[in-house]
Amino acid sequence: MNNSIFTDPALLAEISRVTRTKSIAKDEVLMSPGDKIVFIPIVQSGVLRIIRENDEGKEIFLYHLYPGQTCAMAINCCQAHKESAVRAVAEDDTEVLLIPVDMVEHWMKYDQWKTFVNSTYSQRFAELIEVIDLIAFNNMDKQVMHYLNERARATGSNTLAITHQQVADELHTHREAVSRLLRTMEQKELVKLGRNTIELI
């Protein structure tokens, strides 16, 4: 357990009693749209990438979860007794703490847990607003650069092992458009393109 999150002895005792940890390999899916929510993941190490998918299978990247963070979408779905609305993918080898869904409301009696849940909603809401702003008010090149910068920050490397098609899928656009933008960005010396790699300069 990441002890920097909680210090309340009673809460820590309950966490130790009812939770378990799960290791996820790089690119492994932790949850998918339509899955029944039976746990809330808190990242212990590594990074999770959260992606929204519509009924037609089209995806858009939302945000990353870092150590000490959890998914507001998962909390919301479990409280509303809904299935998962997002896909959670391990950006790198990742370990998560699995909180049983019935504990989310039960632990609201602990101030630290209540603060944790409320701050999660607040932070994720701010990130979603940023995504909406990027889509609504900015050109695609800014969306692509934001996406690449977020992926680089999550992996800790400026060289991303990613295809143009993957970028297009998670930005809900066409591969041809992404490829044209990336070539233009390469000419501006913002990125360096390789075989299935994109390096931020």
Average pLDDT, the chain: 87
- For residue 73, give the nearest of 52, 95, 57, 94 by alpha carbon: 52
Per-residue pLDDT at 135 = 65
- Shared domain for 101 and 166, answered yes or no, is no
What's the number of domains the chain is made of? 2
Q: Per residue in 138-163, pLDDT tens?
A: 578 888 999 999 999 999 999 999 99
- Shared domain for 120 and 142, answered yes or no, is no
- Shared domain for 49 and 132, answered yes or no, is yes
**Tokens (6 digits) for 125:** 């809401």
pLDDT higher than 60, residue 190? yes
How far, in Å, CA of 77 to CA of 97, rounded? 18
- Shared domain for 76 and 124, answered yes or no, is yes
pLDDT higher than 90, residue 136? no
- Shared domain for 112 and 182, answered yes or no, is no
Structural domain of residue 152, as residue ranges? 138-200
- Shared domain for 122 and 142, answered yes or no, is no
Q: Per residue in 51-74, pLDDT tens?
A: 887 777 677 888 899 999 998 888
In this structure, of 3-12, 89-98, 111-120, 152-161, the range with the lowest mean pLDDT score is 3-12
- Shared domain for 151 and 132, answered yes or no, is no
- Shared domain for 125 and 157, answered yes or no, is no
How far, in Å, CA of 64 to CA of 160, rounded? 15
